[in-house]
């Protein structure tokens, strides 16, 4: 029997094959949760699962598709015979470019994964929690400090991440009566494959502007997610928490 703050709980994590999602699976497992690692890239989710020492499973999901998310809910419930009470929306993409030159496709793709995907996963998993009468749910969404910094070249991404903050607040108000808390995190620049493609000169500027003088590590976001997943944060609801090393 697992021990730890999250013992007996099932967690469903999207974007689990990389970066923050993978680190989140590791730390939720460390705290005793059973983990379902979900990603569009099934192989990468399976790699994540191999690193965990708890009951865990990998699931393929495209968060931008309702049908795919519904299949993932069924797979998750079947796996551990209970609905996940912890859901982390970490799947996300960037398609950067100046607004005047941004192809419609790049706007639509980023919207479909980052905002619509968060909506679909939140909606479908909350329904499963409510059906199973779970009363201690925690949904954690990955927004971004870009929702407040609004970087040039990220009109699509910034708009979706600001949308995630609003979606989180609305969901927290609607789901409170079911005992489901909904919060989001606004990470700064974290050393993951997503940031690996940012040009070096931009990363240097970020590091210079960051009071802690460095990029963040995925575990430093996952620790806050683990806190929000646990009863230690039992009165935190509808919050948007910056985890940026002080970067504004």
Burial profile 180-200: b = 16 or more Cβ within 10 angstroms, e = fewer: bbbbbbbbbbbebebbeeeee
Name which of 110 and 128 has its Cβ closer to ligand NAI. 110
Taking the complex as a whole, how short is the minimal distance between the CB of residue 198 and ligand NAI, in angstroms?
8
| Number of CB atoms found within 10 A of residue 67's CB | 9
Residue 119 engages ligand NAI in binding (rule: CB under 6 A):
no
Name which of 134 and 145 has its Cβ closer to ligand NAI. 145
Torsion, CA 65, CA 68, CA 74, CA 79, rounded to 10? -120
Taking the complex as a whole, how short is the minimal distance between the CB of residue 117 and ligand NAI, in angstroms?
6
Residue 93 engages ligand NAI in binding (rule: CB under 6 A):
yes
How far CA 8 is from CA of 1, 73, 153, 211, in Å, comes to 8, 18, 44, 39
Q: Which stretch binds ligand NAI (CB under 6 A): 2-10, 72-80, 176-184, 190-198?
A: 190-198
Task: Select the residue interacting with ligand NAI from 11, 190, 225, 247 (CB under 6 A).
Answer: 190
Q: Where are the alpha helices (DSSP H) in the chain?
A: 19-30, 42-50, 66-80, 104-110, 117-131, 146-149, 155-175, 193-196, 200-209, 218-229
125 to 144: interface string for ligand NAI, x by CB under 6 A:
-----------------x-x
Q: Is 201 helix (H, G, I), strand (E, B) or coil?
A: helix
CB 17 within 8 A of CB 44: yes
Residue 72 engages ligand NAI in binding (rule: CB under 6 A):
no
Q: What are phi and psi of 140, to 5 degrees?
A: -125, 120
**Nearest Cα to 181, choosing from 170, 192, 172?**
172
Residue 113 engages ligand NAI in binding (rule: CB under 6 A):
yes
Taking the complex as a whole, how short is the minimal distance between the CB of residue 194 and ligand NAI, in angstroms?
3
Which of 98, 157, 189, 235 is an active site residue?
157
Can 157 be counted among the known catalytic residues?
A: yes
Taking the complex as a whole, how short is the minimal distance between the CB of residue 44 and ligand NAI, in angstroms?
5
8 to 47: interface string for ligand NAI, x by CB under 6 A:
------xx-xxxxx-----------------xxx--x---
CA 166 from chain center: how many Å? 15
Q: Which residues contribute to the site for ligand NAI (CB under 6 A)?
A: 14-15, 17-21, 39-41, 44, 61-64, 90-93, 113, 117, 142, 144, 187, 189-190, 192-195
Give the residue numbers annotated as catalytic, written as ranges.
157
């Amino acid at each position: 029997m697992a021990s730890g703050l999250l013992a007996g709980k099932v967690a469903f994590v999207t974007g689990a094959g990389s970066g923050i999602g993978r680190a989140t699976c590791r730390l939720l497992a460390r705290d005793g949760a059973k983990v379902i690692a979900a990603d569009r890239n099934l192989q990468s989710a399976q790699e994540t699962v191999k690193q965990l020492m708890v009951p865990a499973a990998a699931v393929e999901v495209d968060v931008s598709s309702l049908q795919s998310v519904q299949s993932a809910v069924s797979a998750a419930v079947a796996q551990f015979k209970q609905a996940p009470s912890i859901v982390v929306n970490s799947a996300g993409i960037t398609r950067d470019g100046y607004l005047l030159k941004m192809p419609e496709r790049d706007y639509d793709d980023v919207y479909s994964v980052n905002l619509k995907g968060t909506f679909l996963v939140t909606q479908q998993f909350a329904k499963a929690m409510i059906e199973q009468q779970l009363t201690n749910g925690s949904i954690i969404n990955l927004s971004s400090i870009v929702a407040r910094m609004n970087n040039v070249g990220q009109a699509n991404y910034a708009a979706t991440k600001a949308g995630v903050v609003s979606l989180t607040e609305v969901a927290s108000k609607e789901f409170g009566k079911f005992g489901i808390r909904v919060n989001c995190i606004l990470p700064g620049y974290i050393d993951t494959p997503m940031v690996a493609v940012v040009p070096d000169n931009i990363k240097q500027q970020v590091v210079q502007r960051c009071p802690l003088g460095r990029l963040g590590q995925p575990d430093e976001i996952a620790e806050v997610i683990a806190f929000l997943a646990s009863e230690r944060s039992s009165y935190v609801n509808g919050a948007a928490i910056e985890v940026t090393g002080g970067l504004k």
